[in-house]
Amino acid sequence: MRVIVPLLMKGPHNERALRGRKTGTVSRISKNVRLGLMILLAWAMPMAATAAPFAAFVMDARTGQEIYAQNADTRLHPASLTKMMTLYLAFNAIERGQVRLDSKFLVSSHAASQPPSRLGLKPGQRIELRYLIRAAAVKSANDAATVIGEGLAGSEAQFGAQMTQMARALGMRNTNFRNANGLTTEGHYSTARDMTILGRRLFYDFPQYYSIFSRRSADAGIATVSSTNRRFLDSYEGADGIKTGYTRAAGFNLTASAKRGSKRIVATVLGGTSTAHRNTVMAQLLDAGFGKAPTRVREVKPAPPQLVAEKKVRRTVQVASVAPSSPGSASSQVQLSASDRPVARASTAAVVTPAAISAAVSRAQAAAAPAPRAAGDTLAASARPNRKPGAGPVANAAVDPNVLARAARPAARPEEGDASEALAPAAGDEIQAVRPTPAPRNDQSASLVEPAATGSASLFVQAAAAQPERMALLGTPAPAPRSETIILAALEPDHGAPEATEIVSRGSGSGKGWGVSLGLYRSQQEAEQLLLKTALQESASLGSAVSRVANTKRGFEANFVGMSKETAELACGRMAARQQDCKVLGP
């Protein structure tokens, strides 16, 4: 009781003790709060230093003309904006007849294991292409995009190569794709300009499918998915697409298209700090685009992508000749010579081999029945003549072997590779011989090859018991099996492997040369928005100046750098006239 009672008793001494204890407790809490804030700041500083670079590009969709650009050709991570190219190739395959919307694609283990956002596909599952397109376009599902790529090209790596080839054909010069969904991968990059070009292409090249990008939700077969872009579509007047994207390395990306009156503007933002920041900047860019774009302009639609199917065919021309094994001998030897030469298109005849020639000659000799002739007559073997001899049979007509050899050669080849051309004698030669025995019409035993299903002509050999000393046979080989693979390549020459990806980070200094400072601000986002607004208003006076946000101890400084002294003074003077605080920075 001696200890407890004094503490419970009221008095000046006890009240001071209680106040001291309360003050100590508050002091400890304050210290803990300050320590926590310091830890949080230390953790956030590296995040700010490695923030994704910002880039923007605005285009008049009717003409493809640039309206505004900031870091437009800087190679950055496109994130899920990649799926625009995936869908472009899917639409292209449908229009070419390669696949249909109801074609079912097999889900691989690799596709099913992709990280979110996902549709939730399972390995071994089969799903229609229409549902994959909806999931990739509306929900930005990574597994659905991967299934599309693997289903169209066989593997994601091959599909990435096709995506890059198509990008080159569309004029996207600073883009390289490695996957179908846009997840961060080394060597996978694009630019704000290239993504804007692709957005315009989707609108003009596939208007029948473009509406998928304006849907707020869609039936994806196994689930109903919601749009990742619905906030911007609902908040901006005239917006009708097209695609969002986000990864930690890329930031918040968006390619958007909007129409007001006769004007249509397409723009891209890369490296936004949040969804709200990205949408706000995009709204400002589109507003500026509608303000600067002319009301009346001649629409210039993009030309079709310049793609060719590359296919090289080589043909082996085999010429067989029948020569006697010894002088005066009736038996013959087949000699075959071959030569390689490139041809424009493949032949339709089958390959003529020495064994086939020998067998055909033997069958023809056995099948042909010689007609009665006068003594001393000689039968000449030749290909089917172009016209019948006018004089009919001539007794005791001798045939010069040299003339016969010339007659066995074709007089002209109007179309290379045509095996049905008749063998005619050279101009000026006169051959007097008995009328040859007609070849059997219904007996295919004399054919060197089986008749093709396409109705191509067969080569027949006419022979009698007595063979001439020399007889030339002209054969053409069969075409190489046609490949179903279509190799897509841009007409623009390939300059080799793409350059290594250069990821650009925001600079912290004012750069070299002269510049203009717009003052200090509490947040980086506030400084960036002011720079963007000023760049849109003063694009003529700023020229090629680069916007930079310098992170200083006093705050975030908004600067334009890379200017000459005259340009900096002129730009600052124009800003001051608009009541915008500014200061010229020296080198």
Span of 23-27, 204-208, 229-233 with lowest mean pLDDT:
23-27
pLDDT at 211: 95
pLDDT at 24: 59
pLDDT at 553: 86
* Residue 468 pLDDT class (50, 70, 90 cuts): very low
pLDDT at 534: 87
Q: Tokens representing 341?
A: 């030469």
**Bridge partner residues of 474 (DSSP):** 319
Q: Tokens representing 423?
A: 């063998």
pLDDT at 306: 77
Average pLDDT score, the chain: 73
* Residue 494 pLDDT class (50, 70, 90 cuts): very low
pLDDT at 265: 97
- Which of 83, 117, 321, 347 is an active site residue? 83
The residues near 267 (Cβ < 8 Å, ≥ 6 apart) are 56, 57, 58, 59, 196, 255, 256, 257, 282, 285, 286, 289
Does residue 47 surpass a pLDDT of 80? no
- Does residue 488 sit in helix, strand or coil? strand
Residue 447 and residue 458: Cα distance in Å, rounded? 6
pLDDT at 470: 42
**Which domains are delineated in the chain?**
55-309 (3.40.710.10), 312-367+459-482 (no CATH), 514-585 (3.30.70.1070)
Span of 51-55, 354-358, 480-484, 537-541 with lowest mean pLDDT:
480-484
| More confident position, 157 or 496 | 157
Give 308-313's long-range contacts (Cβ < 8 A, gap of 24+). Answer: 308/489, 308/491, 309/486, 309/487, 309/488, 310/487, 310/489, 311/483, 311/487, 312/342, 313/342, 313/343, 313/345, 313/346, 313/479, 313/480
pLDDT at 387: 55
Does residue 567 surpass a pLDDT of 60? yes
Span of 117-121, 332-336, 558-562 with lowest mean pLDDT:
332-336
Q: How many Cβ atoms from other residues are within 10 Å of residue 523's Cβ? A: 12
pLDDT at 215: 96
Query: Does the bond joining 117 to the residue before it have cis omega, within 30 degrees of 0?
Result: yes
Strands (E) located in 329-468: 332-342
Q: How many CA atoms lie within 13 A of 526 on its CB side?
A: 10
pLDDT at 524: 87
Residue 244 and residue 106: Cα distance in Å, rounded? 26
**Per-residue CA distances from 323 to 269, 334, 358, 472 (Å):** 79, 7, 12, 9
Q: Is 122 annotated as a binding residue?
A: no
- Which of 80, 117, 382, 517 is an active site residue? 80
Q: DSSP label at 98?
A: S
pLDDT at 455: 40
**H or E segment to which residue 550 belongs:** strand 546-551
Indicate if 358 belongs to the active site.
no
Indicate if 347 belongs to the active site.
no
Q: Which residue has the tokens 């396409």?
A: 454
- 419-445 residue pLDDT tens: 333 334 444 444 344 454 454 444 443
- 100-140 residue pLDDT tens: 999 999 999 999 999 999 999 999 999 999 999 999 999 99
Residue 491 and residue 502: Cα distance in Å, rounded? 27
- Which of 117, 140, 257, 347 is an active site residue? 140
pLDDT at 370: 54
pLDDT at 21: 57
Q: What is the spatial order of strands in the sheet that 583-585 belongs to?
A: 546-551, 556-563, 514-521, 583-585
Span of 34-38, 228-232, 403-407, 459-463 with lowest mean pLDDT:
459-463
Q: H helices of 171-308, where?
A: 192-205, 230-235, 275-292
Span of 23-37, 139-153, 454-468, 522-536 with lowest mean pLDDT:
454-468
pLDDT at 353: 53
Does residue 160 surpass a pLDDT of 80? yes
pLDDT cut 70: percent of the chain above it = 56
- 360-410 residue pLDDT tens: 666 766 665 555 554 444 444 445 555 555 444 444 444 444 544 444 444
**Per-residue CA distances from 103 to 69, 90, 98, 473, 518 (Å):** 41, 12, 10, 50, 57
Does residue 222 surpass a pLDDT of 60? yes
Does residue 198 surpass a pLDDT of 50? yes
What is this structure's pTM? Answer: 0.54
pLDDT at 562: 87
Does residue 492 surpass a pLDDT of 50? no
Residue 72 and residue 59: Cα distance in Å, rounded? 11
- 281-304 residue pLDDT tens: 999 999 999 999 999 999 999 998
pLDDT at 537: 81
Q: DSSP label at 2?
A: T
pLDDT at 383: 52
Indicate if 259 belongs to the active site.
no
pLDDT at 508: 39
Does residue 473 surpass a pLDDT of 80? no
* Residue 451 pLDDT class (50, 70, 90 cuts): very low
Average pLDDT over residues 24-34: 60
